A and B are shown apart, each in its own frame.
Chain A
């Protein structure tokens, strides 16, 4: 009797548990997607996507980009209707080697900034340090800032061994060692160091650039040049045509200090013809806005005449952060209001910089890529955009970073679109 009862009970248990088991099997399948960004307009230049699509993220990587991905498979669905979903931005030019070394300004110094305070809130997930460190102090930079930051930090290694310690120290030709620089890149940090930087040189010739290019050749990486100040200014046509290689980078493209450095737009507002030739040759032009290197006087005529910087970057440091630069979302908005299509602006801060630094795995939303994603909304209104001279250009559109994901994790959420309502959760322990 008892046995029969037990048997019945067992049958009952099995009968009851079967659908539960089935349901839970479906439920576990339902967690195929960690985060689903639903209904946004995806701009992914690397994959030629520019339309309304959903983006599914799983295990920190892009799982799928397609129209109408079912929300039933997703653990978390974020409604991004009316917003733009783009690859996490890459800022090709920052100074992130923050520190307290007495006497130094950028290498382990106060003028540099830990990037996390500026990146995620502007949709940036990767920054490239532009030569704050050289081979003598790069390891300290890595330990002190790179390894501790949540932003992905890559770097150009300064051709000067001590990096940007001081404008004076940066003149020491004997501390510009192409072999040691190339060793550090190739033998020690091939994944993090993406190029060589030449900057702030006062000498009467291209010695520093040539040393950097020599290191670049040895290591098989591009060189970024901030030509520095020369009196009289050095001829940049010669630099572009004879000293740099295709793929090398000229930064501070729209700076206007013609007494110190030759400028691309002449005093009649015309782009010098050889600039187009240089761009055709494959010289990469980088914005590197900074605190003194972006003038409407250069940028607006240049853009009007079709000379558009290949890469939009910030030159983040303490002198630029609260001025005309502010952050990458602001810089992208400047180019948008100068008349560039949004897709093009996004490309110059995602796919293009990734290509320039030889990291095609970044700056795209291809399935399998690390899920670095930026969601922007387009704010309409009456805005002003400052250059480094404190003059402004008026504009009507401004990008605002709504949501930023780094390796699949939400690292910025302006309006809590990834959150639940506070009074909808009553069971939480207080």
Chain B
């Protein structure tokens, strides 16, 4: 009897201990000692970040480590919301070219190692093939993928099919958006070589019907810049902003001054995205524009097969370029997170607000002698480069550059029963 009593008592105590440890493990991951930059919440200080059940549980100085499942020392690093790349082409597939094609890049190949947790596909699909894009790529990727829907029914299918006006249907486009309000954040117009404004007007109409922004890509050579900007509504996005590409009018005049229509558009609330790409970012536009106060609202990378290994590399590299051009780090982070989220109307993203999905980038600032190139292969020298140390997507560690979340292999010998 007493033996049984002791047994059951000890079982009870064990249960109590287990439940109390279970209770005390409110925090799954605690990022300790980092410098938090969370522009949405006006935080720019050394703070700890607690993650629980895939969400931000707390951001505060000196959160107690007791009760935390894993404590990661991120001293000397920057802890920021997972970065948002609003201009990518990720509708990968077996075709040639972009839509369902080889010219696209699977986002997971590039995102996490550069601190990105959300990408927005810039109209690689249209209402005719968005569902294929969703089942084939969006649903299979770990990166959060959102999308602008192309006004062309089947997205970026190449010339001439993507210029077929009869398939540019504002109603069908807006209907598809209403079917996928979580994924589709806007409408895109990208490629049209004619002078007819019908495609543009239909894109605006679709955006208005769906109450979403329009993003205007390059490759509309016959449309004067001033008219494009006049037609855009506040909140619409102009991408490939800093280029001298021949199929689009430059934002600078011959004296390297911002054109009046650009300043007017900026004042009206048009948003300017980088859209770096393989041929769409030039220092001789970006630097004068920066000096005259035209800063990008977001650092869209225009990720695709020919930009990834050239000057672009990844969005973090574009952020480092602007850092070395003279933008403050806090401002760089703002435009890569909260401001980018504003461009796509997603208040739930780009911040470390308690309750938000825990998408986090831990960045380190590397100092040294670096070179940054534009898409003409011209170089800007700099002394700072951002590097992704750790990336967390919905509370899960998806990239860990130096194993800051890992134990030393010898400390784990109990797991291995290893005798040296």
A269 at the interface (CB under 8 A from B): yes
The CA-CA distance from A385 to B400 in the complex, in Å, is 9
The CA-CA distance from A278 to B131 in the complex, in Å, is 53
A241-283 interface bits toward B, Cβ cutoff 8 Å, 1 = contact, 0 = none: 0000000000000001000000000011100000000000000
Query: Given A393-B408, A430-B250, are A117 and B373 neighbors across the interface (CB < 8 Å)?
Result: no
Tell me the residues in window 4-29 of chain A with beta carbons closer than 8 Å to chain B beta carbons. none
In the complex, the answer to whether A384 meets B406 with C-beta atoms within 8 Å is yes
B23 at the interface (CB under 8 A from A): no
With beta carbons under 8 angstroms apart, the residue of B110, B282, B379 that contacts A117 is B110
The CA-CA distance from A391 to B416 in the complex, in Å, is 12
Residues of A within 8 A of B92 (CB): 98, 100
Interface residues on A, range: 35 or more
A289 at the interface (CB under 8 A from B): no
Residues of B within 8 A of A267 (CB): 417-419
Nearest opposing residue in chain A for B243, CB measure? A430
The CA-CA distance from A392 to B405 in the complex, in Å, is 9
The CA-CA distance from A418 to B310 in the complex, in Å, is 12
In the complex, the answer to whether A322 meets B398 with C-beta atoms within 8 Å is yes
With beta carbons under 8 angstroms apart, the residue of A110, A268, A384, A417 that contacts B402 is A384
**Which of B94, B96, B415, B420 has the most chain A CB atoms inside 10 A of its CB?**
B94
Query: Given A116-B305, A121-B309, A144-B94, are A421 and B250 neighbors across the interface (CB < 8 Å)?
Result: no
B78 at the interface (CB under 8 A from A): no
Nearest opposing residue in chain B for A404, CB measure? B309
Residues of B within 8 A of A391 (CB): 403, 406-409, 411-412
A95-111 interface bits toward B, Cβ cutoff 8 Å, 1 = contact, 0 = none: 00011100000001010
The smallest C-beta distance from A270 to any residue of chain B, in angstroms, reads: 10
With beta carbons under 8 angstroms apart, the residue of A100, A114, A393 that contacts B409 is A393
A192 at the interface (CB under 8 A from B): no
Tell me the residues in window 380-419 of chain A with beta carbons closer than 8 Å to chain B beta carbons. 382-387, 389-394, 411-419
B94-125 interface bits toward A, Cβ cutoff 8 Å, 1 = contact, 0 = none: 10100010100110111011000000000000
In the complex, the answer to whether A425 meets B378 with C-beta atoms within 8 Å is yes
Query: Given A99-B94, A113-B109, A269-B419, are A386 and B406 neighbors across the interface (CB < 8 Å)?
Result: yes
Interface residues on B, range: 35 or more
The CA-CA distance from A99 to B379 in the complex, in Å, is 36
The CA-CA distance from A326 to B399 in the complex, in Å, is 9
Residues of chain A having any CB pair with chain B under 8 Å: 98-100, 108, 110, 113-114, 116-118, 120-121, 144, 148, 256, 267-269, 296-297, 300-301, 318, 321-322, 326, 382-387, 389-394, 411-425, 428-430
Residues of chain B having any CB pair with chain A under 8 Å: 92-94, 96, 100, 102, 105-106, 108-110, 112-113, 136, 140, 244, 250, 252, 254, 282-285, 287, 305, 308-309, 311, 313, 370-374, 376-381, 398-400, 402-409, 411-412, 415-420
Can you show 27 pairs from A to B with CB atoms below 8 A apart?
Answer: A100-B94, A108-B94, A113-B109, A118-B109, A121-B313, A144-B102, A256-B416, A297-B409, A322-B113, A384-B402, A384-B406, A389-B412, A390-B407, A392-B407, A393-B409, A416-B377, A419-B371, A419-B377, A420-B379, A421-B379, A421-B381, A422-B284, A422-B287, A422-B374, A423-B283, A428-B244, A430-B285
Q: A383-B402, A419-B377, A422-B287 are in contact. List 11 more A-B contacts (CB 8 A).
A: A100-B136, A114-B305, A116-B308, A296-B409, A392-B402, A392-B407, A414-B313, A416-B377, A420-B377, A422-B378, A423-B284
Give the top 5 A-B pairs by smallest Cβ distance, nearest first.
A392-B403, A384-B403, A416-B371, A296-B409, A416-B379
